[in-house]
Amino acid sequence: MNKVYRRTALLLLMMIVLLAGFPVMTAYGADSQRQKTVVLGTSAEFAPYEFHKTIDGKDQIVGFDIDIAREIAKDMGVKLVIEDMSFDALLPALQSGRVDLVISGMTPTDERKQSIDFSNNYYQSKQVVMVRSEDKELYRTIDNLKGDKIGAQKGSIQEEIAQSIPGIVITSLDRIPDLVLQLQTKRVNAVILEDTVAIGYLQDRTVTLADAVPDDAPVQAAIGIRKGNKELLAQVNSTIARLKSENRIAEMVKQASQLSVEKQQAPSNIFTTFWEYRSYYALGLSYTLLLSALGVLFGFIIGLLISLLRMSGIRSITWLGTTYVEILRGTPMLVQLMIIHYGLALTLGINFTPLQSGIITLSLNSSAYLAEIFRAGIQGVDRGQMEAARSLGMGRGLAMRHIILPQAFKTVLPAIGNEFITIIKESSIISVIGMADIMYQAGIVKNITYKGLSPFIIAAAIYFVLTFLLSKLLGVWERRLGASDHR
């Protein structure tokens, strides 16, 4: 193996060692810090259980579930840390140890009890059917729902109820506001949800409750805890028993319900919406830029190394590089994100933060495409360039660094620019694990304002400005690099 490839292999080996050791150090640091905190997993779009609310100009997660969690943390003498994520991500987060407990109006079903432990029940509710006001007379009984289009929250007890109705077409989404929007836009004709949650939406006169009742039996809500954590389970049950004896939970429900129905004055147009919630989008923009910048940086480095390894001429190394590229290009980024964020935690006990998982996923996914771009650029340089450099006494490594790579880089710059733009847009996927990027913040604004379209138009405009500016900057850079070609 010549010097350049030996050095490349050594650099790659050092990077692998560092990346392997970093999660361990990160996990150790997180574990030591957790001794003074309790991490709560919730899906904060389930008013009045938990929901976002702007209070004193700041976005806060409130609700009676959150009040109960604060009492638990108070009794334990620790600080409460809230992790907001989609409802169907709560169980994987709990099983992987990413959160310590889950409070999200969750029903302790037999299926869920196989995966996690549950506290004693702390609240009881019933299921209702929400329909458009104009269609109320069409749904007198549950039989009227047969063969119809119904919405339900993904992974919830409402989804199981919907599946038991013959002949229906189910639309399962992560968030309740999205389901209500589906109902209002006539994509579904009914939504099954809890009566406590439905109260917050009944102020909008376009929707109402049908006479049909899907389940007469009351539904219990309990707190999810990782299996085997007997100490935390006992502490949670103790707090629940105290709150019940003091009649505090009923008071919390009443206060949270009143807070949830107190709608803020909705902005009159999209411009006032952006200006009023500019701090949300500014925070999301900062995280998106950080994700994209680090994803681009590490993707560039790893992609260049992989491309050199693929051209090493050593069959085993070439095979490894090819396998790396094909696997990452042949699987969806969302699947890669789930494996890195939850899979590593479940199998190896490596817990990355949402930011770390996002950076790693973007870097690895991008590096596979950049590796092929670099390989095409390097192979596109005339072989005579290397031979001429060697004839002048330059080593292969020096020739590659000063002769081949600069020419290859100039050739593939437009393709690299397109990949960087793609990274900025694809970073929105990271919002599904609770990363507070632009898309995540747009969802929060939608939940606060009850506007289904304008928050996402604003997010689209921000993405467009970012990608447009980047494309113009890359164009200027490309023209400067190409200036010497016309001399």
pLDDT at 362: 93
Q: Which of 67, 44, 40 is nearest to 197 (CA)?
A: 44
d(CA 36, CA 205): 46
Res 34 pLDDT > 50: no
Res 23 pLDDT > 80: no
Tokens 């169907």 belong to residue: 88
Tokens 């304002």 belong to residue: 449
pLDDT at 442: 87
pLDDT at 213: 84
Q: Which of 95-99, 300-304, 419-423, 448-452 has the lowest mean pLDDT?
A: 448-452
Q: Write the pLDDT tens digit of every residue in 168-219.
A: 899 988 778 788 888 988 999 999 988 888 877 787 788 999 988 886 667 7
pLDDT at 483: 58
How far, CA to CA in Å, does 233 sit from each of 50, 96, 114, 226? 21, 17, 16, 9
**Residue 295 in contact with residue 356, Cβ under 8 Å?**
no
Q: Write the pLDDT tens digit of every residue in 256-309.
A: 887 876 655 556 678 888 888 888 899 899 999 889 888 888 988 898 889 888
Mean pLDDT, to the nearest integer, of 449-466? Answer: 86
**Residue 177 in contact with residue 137, Cβ under 8 Å?**
no
At 217, list the tokens. 């039996």
The mean predicted confidence, pLDDT, of the chain is 82
**Residue 119 in contact with residue 56, Cβ under 8 Å?**
no
Res 1 pLDDT > 80: no
* Start-to-end CA span in the chain (Å): 38
In three-state secondary structure terms, 200 is helix
pLDDT at 79: 93
Domains of the chain, each with CATH number or no CATH: 3-25+272-486 (1.10.3720.10), 36-123+221-262 (3.40.190.10), 127-217 (3.40.190.10)
DSSP run (H or E) holding 468: helix 454-481
pLDDT at 265: 55
Taking 3-state DSSP, the helix, strand and coil percentages for the chain, each rounded to the nearest 5, stand at 65, 15, 25
d(CA 351, CA 349): 6
Res 482 pLDDT > 60: yes
Q: Write the pLDDT tens digit of every residue in 321-378.
A: 889 999 999 999 999 999 998 888 888 878 888 888 999 999 999 999 988 888 887 7
Tokens 């085993």 belong to residue: 316
Res 116 pLDDT > 90: yes
Res 24 pLDDT > 80: no
Mean pLDDT, to the nearest integer, of 136-145? Answer: 90
pLDDT band at 25 (very low <50, low <70, confident <90, very high): very low
Q: Which of 227, 286, 234, 220 is nearest to 437 (CA)?
A: 286
pLDDT band at 7 (very low <50, low <70, confident <90, very high): low
Res 27 pLDDT > 50: no
Greater pLDDT, 465 or 53: 465
Mean pLDDT, to the nearest integer, of 67-72? Answer: 95
d(CA 224, CA 403): 60
Res 13 pLDDT > 90: no
Please give the share of the chain, as a percent, with pLDDT higher than 90. 28
Fill in the amino acid letter for 426.
E
pLDDT band at 248 (very low <50, low <70, confident <90, very high): very high
Greater pLDDT, 413 or 234: 234
pLDDT at 327: 93
Secondary structure (DSSP) of 236-305: HHHHHHHHHHTTHHHHHHHHHHHHHH-PPPPPSSHHHHHHHTHHHHHHHHHHHHHHHHHHHHHHHHHHHH
Q: Which of 103-107, 218-222, 329-333 has the lowest mean pLDDT?
A: 218-222
At 16, list the tokens. 């692998």
214 upstream amide cis, omega within 30 of 0? no
**Residue 378 in contact with residue 408, Cβ under 8 Å?**
yes
Spell 217-246 as b/e; 16+ CB within 10 A means b: eebbbbbbbbeebeebbebbbebbeebeee
Res 4 pLDDT > 50: no
Tokens 């019940």 belong to residue: 244
Q: Which of 157, 49, 152 is nearest to 107 (CA)?
A: 157
What sign has the CA pseudo-torsion 239, 241, 243, 245? negative
In three-state secondary structure terms, 51 is strand
DSSP run (H or E) holding 130: strand 127-132
